[in-house]
Amino acid sequence: MGFWSAVLLPLVLCLLLFIGFFNKSDELKSLPGIMLWLRFAGVILGVMGSLLLPMLIIFIAYSVNSIEHKADTWKTLFSLPISKPAVYAAKYFYAFFLVLLCLALFVVFTLGFGNLLSVIKPGLKFNEYNIAGTLSQLYFKLFLSSLGILSIQFLLSLLFRDFLKPMGIGFICTITGVILAANNWKYAYLIPYSHPMLGLKALQQQKEAHAGTMPQITVDMLTKDTWVSLAVALTVFIIGYFIILKKSVK
């Protein structure tokens, strides 16, 4: 379920956006290529950065450990000739891979559907501007900003057997983080659940600064919120390592 959610979510969202732009193509013909791309990609980036990405991570982190919880097979798993740390690392990096895969597919499908629109609707000038490099950087920054959340939710999914506890904690933290980031609280960068929105909020401020002119997009990859995200991810990963060493399977 975690794998298919990572694949289907970008496909469905980009397909819906493709249909919306296709139906409104007459209203968008006057826009230059860069503005079309900003509208097309910006819709998904806004949704992902504010709410959807943290919720997806909550689901992925739980799905990686849910089989062992539901079938009560942790004892069986740890009886195999594989060390506990190896099992822990393998599960974590699978969740890591799923988040990276999902965001990479957002880049692929956004570029694919945007360029497809310029082919079937020549009036939409997507082909006038190449946003591939910038879009890849934006989604990679979003990925780095999400690693703190991933480590926290992965640890919670190890500690709790049911879905409601990690889901509830993650949802409350996400809403809190979004509110703090949206209200420009100066210490919001210390809250991992604020990081995806903070990363894209800087882009929005950049766009507003160029209002009325052709925007020049630059992506500052390693901002202080990104560093905090990486630090939290590493710290919580190490904590989880020691917890799994002491995990009882009796």
Model confidence pLDDT, tens digit, residues 218-247: 777 788 889 999 999 999 999 988 888 776
Instruction: Check pLDDT > 80 for residue 79.
Output: no
* Residue-level pLDDT at 216: 63
Alpha carbon 87 to chain centroid, angstroms: 24
Counting every residue written for the chain, the total comes to 250
Mean pLDDT of 131-156: 90
Cα 244 from Cα 240, distance rounded (Å): 6
Q: Rounded to whole angstroms, how far apart are CA atoms 181 and 175? A: 10
What mean pLDDT do residues 23-45 have?
84
Spatial contact of 65 and 91, defined as CB atoms under 8 Å apart: yes
Return mean pLDDT, the chain. 84
pTM (2 d.p.): 0.86
